[in-house]
Amino acid sequence: MKTIGIFGGTFDPIHTAHLIMAQDAAEFANLDAVLIMPTANPPLRANAPVASANNRKEMAKNAIAGNSLFELCTLDLESNGTNYSIDVVEKIAMAYPDAQLYWILGADQIEQLDKWHRIEELSQKISFLALQRPGYSVDAGAIPDFCNVTFAPTHQFDISASEIRYRIQNSLNVKYFLPPEVFEYIKARSLYL
């Protein structure tokens, strides 16, 4: 049976820690592929992404170029309006009917699982791989009983997209926070200034 991880995020911008987390999850769970999925309008996120959907898609595409384990998934960006995880998973399940699906997420998102749309139904279709993030400790009691959550070890990097945007706005160097292709893409289009 093929095993596929789904790693969604606004990726505004996608950065080195995102890619290392995806790689760590793939190695831990022995995944055959990881779908890197920029999201359009995450329902539980207060602020809209800064970069356009197309720019975020292109940055993700550039970031994963040459890595046969990672595939760009644009299902969320192609939808109109708010798209829920259950909608995406149903579409991916149709494309990969015999695959075991895993949703990869940071530990900071685990305690919000009870707020996810149709979470009980989603939990019947997918397992969750939770990756630790610096500064977050998870209250296991907050995880719904019906969710199959496995905590996976990952390298710890205190890098965030919001910090990268701040550094760009304040003319601070971000070269080593980003894959070179993403760094060049941002520079060429003067993003986040």
Q: Please give the class, per CATH, of domain 3-156.
A: alpha beta
* pLDDT mean across residues, the chain: 92
What type of residue is 134?
P
- Of 132, 110, 103, give the one whose Cα is nearest residue 17: 132
Q: Give the length of the chain.
A: 193
Give the residue extent of every domain in the chain: 3-156
Tell me the three state secondary structure of residue 157: coil
Give me the pLDDT at residue 80, please.
66
pLDDT for 44 beyond 70: no
| Res 114 pLDDT > 80 | yes
What pTM did the predictor assign? 0.93
Say if CB 16 and CB 159 are below 8 A apart.
yes
Could you tell me what percent of the chain has a pLDDT over 90?
74
What pLDDT, on the 0 to 100 scale, is given for residue 81? 67
Count helices and strands (H / E) in the chain.
Answer: 8, 6
137-163 mean pLDDT: 87
Pairing of strands 3-9, 149-152: unpaired
d(CA 70, CA 72): 7
Interatomic CA distance for residues 109 and 111, integer angstroms: 6
